């Protein structure tokens, strides 16, 4: 990191260097047939945290995990007959499935933003496929742009948008589709379209029968952004923010130097005060502290800068989950 973004040609050496960079926990922007993705090892919480940091997103959205094929996907998610039919027709290609994570799934919790589901896609671009094959594992990749900007379809867009925040850009020319992939939710009996893309609603219905259009709110309904549609994981016990002290029977989640003393159940998101490390630990630690032996989780203040904004956003939702009605 530091110097200018490293744009590399997509030959054998370039792909090998990119795969090695992913293996060492780094970020690589790479072309897909839809848009350029900002990739990291999807099993590595810390690497995935770097994606959110580079994009400067104020919240954690679940990311699409890229795989080579149906077999690689079925190790990560629960793929049913509908997924098999869709994959036979459209993979590799611009279609992502949201499916339940397998219980033994080795993916980062951060990649799912703490959800029990994951979005999976086998991209068609030859360079993306070369990279996945050489890397030999799942690659998490949102579009390779800063939050709020349009998705990049050229190497130059990636460099303009992310600058030195991306270590390496694999140059594959212009993206053929130029629009993000279609996203379909296969978690319940009724399949739901979450995002429009090159694979159309009609194409999906031809194979599956009726597919609910969940891309726009129905009249009078609250907006169903993907983040709301996805039933976000919230601890079962209450979460108390900005705690200055710890009450009896509370578990403690801290950050940086702590003045709380020693507790039976206390986890520090990052003793060194590193927000990337804190983001990487967040969902795993929340789950660890969410046990019936505690009445609540007390959370120490976390700086509201950089990745801290996304961490605080997520913690606020967890705290609010107990005052809202639970109707997903």
Q: Is 34 in the site for ligand TXA (CB under 6 A)?
A: yes
- Termini Cα distance of the chain: 40
Secondary structure E strands in the chain: 6-9, 28-30, 37-41, 64-66, 95-100, 117-121, 139-140, 168-171, 182-185, 192-195, 212-213, 239-240, 250-254, 266-268, 296-299
Q: Which does 77 bind (CB under 5 to 8 A by kind): ligand TXA, Mg ion, none?
A: none
Q: Which does 195 bind (CB under 5 to 8 A by kind): ligand TXA, Mg ion, none?
A: ligand TXA
What residues does 64 pair with on adjacent strands?
119
Beta-carbon contacts of 222 under 8 Å, excluding residues fewer than 6 positions away, are 228
CA-closest candidate to residue 62, choices 17, 21, 20, 114: 114
Answer for which of 41, 130, 180, 277 binds ligand TXA (CB under 6 A) is 180
Tell whether residue 143 is a contact of Mg ion (CB under 5 A): yes
CA–CA distance, 276 with 184 (Å, rounded to integer): 30
Q: Which does 63 bind (CB under 5 to 8 A by kind): Mg ion, ligand TXA, none?
A: ligand TXA
Query: What is the smallest separation between the CB atom of 150 and Mg ion, expressed in angstroms?
Result: 9
Nearest to 181 by CA among 228, 142, 148, 132: 142
- Considering only 15, 32, 76, 92, the residue that binds ligand TXA (CB under 6 A) is 32
The reply to whether 31 sits near ligand TXA by the rule CB under 6 A is: no
Q: Which of 141, 246, 279, 282 binds ligand TXA (CB under 6 A)?
A: 141
Q: Write the Ramachandran bin of 249: left for phi over 0, alpha for psi from -120 to 50, otherwise beta.
A: left
Name which position in 19, 119, 139, 298 contacts ligand TXA (CB under 6 A). 119
Backbone angles phi, psi at 123, to 5 degrees: -75, 155
For ligand TXA, the binding residue among 195, 201, 224, 295 (CB under 6 A) is 195
61 near ligand TXA, judged by CB under 6 A: yes
Which of the residues 264 through 303 are near ligand TXA (CB under 6 A)? none
Q: Give residues in contact with ligand TXA (CB under 6 A).
A: 32, 34-35, 37, 61-64, 96, 98, 112, 115, 117-119, 121, 123, 141-143, 180-181, 183, 194-195, 226, 230
| Binding residues for Mg ion (CB under 5 A) | 143
């Amino acid at each position: 990191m530091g110097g200018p973004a490293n744009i590399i040609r997509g030959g054998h050496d370039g792909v090998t260097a990119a795969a090695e960079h992913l293996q060492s926990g780094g970020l690589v922007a790479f072309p897909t047939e839809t848009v350029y993705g900002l990739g990291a090892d999807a099993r590595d919480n810390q690497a995935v945290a770097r994606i959110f940091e580079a994009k400067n997103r104020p919240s954690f959205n679940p990311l699409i995990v890229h795989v080579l094929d149906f077999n690689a996907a079925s190790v990560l998610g629960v793929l049913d007959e509908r997924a098999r039919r869709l994959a036979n027709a459209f993979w590799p290609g611009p279609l992502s499935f949201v499916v339940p994570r397998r219980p033994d799934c080795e993916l980062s919790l951060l990649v799912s933003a703490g959800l029990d589901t994951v979005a999976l896609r086998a991209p068609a671009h030859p360079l993306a496929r070369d990279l996945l094959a050489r890397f030999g594992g799942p690659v998490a990749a949102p579009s390779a742009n800063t939050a709020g900007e349009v998705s990049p379809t050229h190497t130059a867009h990636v460099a303009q948008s992310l600058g030195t925040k991306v270590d390496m850009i694999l140059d594959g020319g212009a993206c053929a589709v130029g629009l993000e992939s279609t996203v379909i939710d296969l978690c319940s009996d009724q399949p739901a379209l979450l995002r429009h893309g090159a694979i159309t609603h009609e194409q999906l219905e031809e194979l599956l029968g009726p597919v609910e259009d969940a891309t726009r709110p129905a009249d009078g309904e609250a907006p169903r952004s993907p983040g709301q549609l996805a039933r976000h994981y919230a601890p079962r016990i209450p979460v108390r923010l900005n705690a200055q002290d710890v009450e009896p029977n509370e578990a403690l989640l801290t950050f940086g130097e702590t003045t709380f003393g020693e507790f039976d159940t206390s986890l520090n998101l990052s003793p060194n005060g590193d927000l990337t490390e804190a983001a990487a630990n967040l969902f795993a630690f929340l789950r660890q502290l969410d046990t019936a032996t505690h009445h609540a989780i007390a959370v120490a203040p976390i700086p509201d800068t950089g990745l801290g904004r996304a961490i605080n956003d997520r913690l606020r939702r967890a705290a609010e989950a107990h005052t809202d009605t639970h109707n997903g």
